[in-house]
A = this chain, B = another copy of it.
Amino acid sequence: MATETMQVNMLSAEDLLKNWQGHRRLTRKTIEAFPEDKLFAFSVGGMRPFSEMAIEFIKMAVPIVDGVATGKWVEFGNSGPKLETKAEILRVWDAQTAELDEKFWKIPPHRFSAVDKAFGQWEMSGLAMIQYAIDNEIHHRGQGYVYLRALGIEPPHFWERD
């Protein structure tokens, strides 16, 4: 890589949130596409069912925004209700959509570049942590697409984020 520094600051917090919420809308459609029983029981290659991946996204999203905003990283392990139906997952999903839209604006600008040890283990900037959450969601959602195809179900179009 070149040693010169090219600082082209070009992504706003608004762009980042918009990109994330677009991906979250696509993930919501992916959850919806699963038949109830398959969401909780079907997988390929001994992997987790898609419900567990969706719950992982839920455990990361708002807690990460809270952590970036405040510097307090509250372990996302064991709080909240058990999510045992598709309807329960989607209800919490939609609540988080609203919560993210509200909380994202409260992140103090300097916190996006501040480096924390998130949840006591991931040392990176606030921006990198949020991008990691988005990337992790894209990665596992892609796996959900394979489950759907293996079930003979057409997944939502990857480029549709509305």
Please list the residues of chain A having a beta carbon within 8 angstroms of any beta carbon in chain B.
1-2, 4-15, 17-19, 23, 44-47, 101-102, 105, 109, 112-113, 127, 131-132, 135-136, 138-143, 145-152, 158-159
Is the CB–CB distance between B101 and A1 below 8 Å? yes
Residues of B within 8 A of A18 (CB): 1
Partner of A138, one of B13, B45, B105, B135: B135
- By a CB distance below 8 angstroms, the chain B residues around A23 are 135
Q: Which residues of B contact A6 (CB under 8 A)?
A: 12-14, 105, 109
- Contact between B139 and A158, CB atoms less than 8 A apart: yes
Residue of B nearest to A5 (CB): B14
Set of chain B residues within 8 Å of A15, measured between Cβ atoms: 127
